[in-house]
Amino acid sequence: SIEWEDAGMDRLHGAPESLAYIRALNAITPPDAAFDAAFSSES
pLDDT digits (tens, 9 = 90+) for 20-29: 888 888 766 7
Q: pLDDT by residue (tens digit) across 1-38?
A: 677 787 787 778 778 888 888 888 876 677 777 778 77
DSSP assignment of 1-43 equals ------TTS-HHHHHHHHHHHHHHHT-----SS-TGGGG-S--
Measure the CA–CA gap between 11 and 41, rounded to whole angstroms: 43
Q: Which pLDDT score, from 0 to 100, does residue 27 have?
A: 66
pTM beyond 0.75: the answer is no
